[in-house]
Structure 1
């Protein structure tokens, strides 16, 4: 029987997976089409990289769901724990610097529009994305190192094995200072860069008289969603690093903070929506397909109900009324 903590974390991971996966797949299709065109903008390469990071995280959520279902006792081999944690946390931290890169691109595009258009190259987006991936994966090797550093747990011998959570003294002396460094380099610095760039970006967009109201609203929406990503999704998890360093142990609420970090995979599609007309069109087409399928399903069901009603003389008009509603819908 799961306790309340495991139950809500299991539900949260499941909802994030079910909502984030289709939205990010739609965004992936849109960005792939955009970067295949001649001379793609660096921001589209960064947005494509962010989509890939989100999809990587989402594809690993079934392992986190399994972990929560077993009340945080890791039921799989220890090597799977190490690899899952390594890629999972790398994708989270890759997102922070990719978001910072997107904010820099947006700010430069409105602050120095002519100079930026003349000097922008797709190569710059590729380099920025590679730097974000290398920094995140390089830093998160801590997960694998810590898991095997003087480890006293063994998944095959101990049914209470926990994944990257309970550390011995040797592991804590290594992992807590590195987590503090993660907070500074992979969260605080990109957050400060992002806040500055979007503050300038929004201010310019709102003060320029020739900017259309719709573009202004999208600019504000883009800044708000990105800020929510940092404060709501990444903030609590990274604050847990500071608390753990001060208290010399992982805080008890760290598992909940990890769930919030995963939430960014569901929030990023909103960012994609505000950022790219290609994504807006893709989402619009997706909604149209769902609407047509729903209408077709309801129409078929309505016809079946009408045939049953006409064939059964004992059915009253009141019982037959819903069929015309389905057909009309």
Structure 2
């Protein structure tokens, strides 16, 4: 949102004065915060202390959990901001930090899910060709560092700009709800900033991730591994759900809103603000990705919540063993009874 205090559009002003919308957004953030901290706190404990060895997939999951926990720690500040009627009281630097955490979580999550998808693609579709590369933990660590570097370089303007905005007529100071046009030097810089966020950090990873999971499902369908195929389909469904429900609306509306505001003086800010809430839901869905992506994580989680750690196939084998053992005991018993009978002398008739 670009503008100054004397030229704020009616859509933005109505949002700031809409108490019901503010409460609804705050409630969503509170629910997300609770689920985020509980689910990702447990996930982080399992991934760090209970999962070994630390495979590249596990390292990617730790990176994803770290960004989710950072978001969970930042959301209470956003909740307080909403309850105070969009009045930010913590200063410009804190506003920049909170905004950076929001968008870093989104785009690091996008890139990390792409990395997990690529790792599964190489491991299932090309298991021999890339076996040595996938085993190196250093490759996963370097990939995570490059992800953070790329995201922070794109979001650099958010770190160097005062994102607070004084609205005297409402007696509030907003945080990243009204952006100044001079945040970037010209329209070309704004276009490059938005292109990098929407296309480089979202659309390209989304296409790569979709390709990887479709290829994995096709490969497993050819190999007729029913259980593994079902799990891969569930994982693909959850990942694509996170992209379409959490990331796509926010990025599409951000691009649309900015273009409308820059060139047509129109606004769809209310829709964009609500999409920002849904973008936080990814931190609640990520633990499900770990469950379907890591066999070790599933095993440890089942142990912790006292669920049966055997798979359905193992359970059937166990039942078959018990049935065979029972039949064997019965057969042995019958043999013993037969031997007893045979030892009794037969009576002869006169």
Q: TM-score when scaled to structure 1?
A: 0.79
1:131 aligns with 2:146: yes
Aligned partner of residue 161 in structure 1, secondary structure: strand
Match among 183, 192, 197 for residue 198 of structure 2:
183
1:228 aligns with 2:241: yes
Instruction: State how many pairs are aligned.
Output: 282
Runs of 4+ in structure 1 off by over 6 angstroms are 155-158
Please show how residues 310-329 of structure 1 align to structure 2 within 5 Å: none
Unpaired stretches in structure 2, ≥5 consecutive residues:
1-16, 308-350
Matches of 2:74 and 2:64, distance apart in 1: 16
Matches of 2:169 and 2:84, distance apart in 1: 17
Q: Give the CA deviation at 1:216.
A: 1.5
Match among 247, 251, 262 for residue 268 of structure 2:
251
Matches of 1:157 and 1:138, distance apart in 2: 36
Segment drifting more, 228-237 vs 22-31: 22-31
Aligned partner of residue 265 in structure 1, secondary structure: helix
Tell which structure's C-alpha radius of gyration is larger. Answer: 2
Partner of 1:298: none
Aligned partner of residue 86 in structure 2, secondary structure: coil
Structure 1 vs Structure 2 CA RMSD:
2.5
Partner of 2:212: 197
Unpaired stretches in structure 1, ≥5 consecutive residues:
290-329
1:27 aligns with 2:39: no
Q: Which digits, 9 at most, give the CA deviation of each residue in 1:6-35, with x for residues without a partner?
A: 111111111111112111111112221366
Please show how residues 66-85 of structure 1 align to structure 2 within 5 Å: 66-85=80-99
Q: Give the CA deviation at 1:247.
A: 0.7
Match among 159, 165, 175 for residue 163 of structure 1:
175
Q: Give the CA deviation at 1:259.
A: 0.7
Q: Give the CA deviation at 1:159.
A: 3.9
Q: TM-score when scaled to structure 2?
A: 0.74
Matches of 1:285 and 1:102, distance apart in 2: 24
Matches of 1:51 and 1:42, distance apart in 2: 14
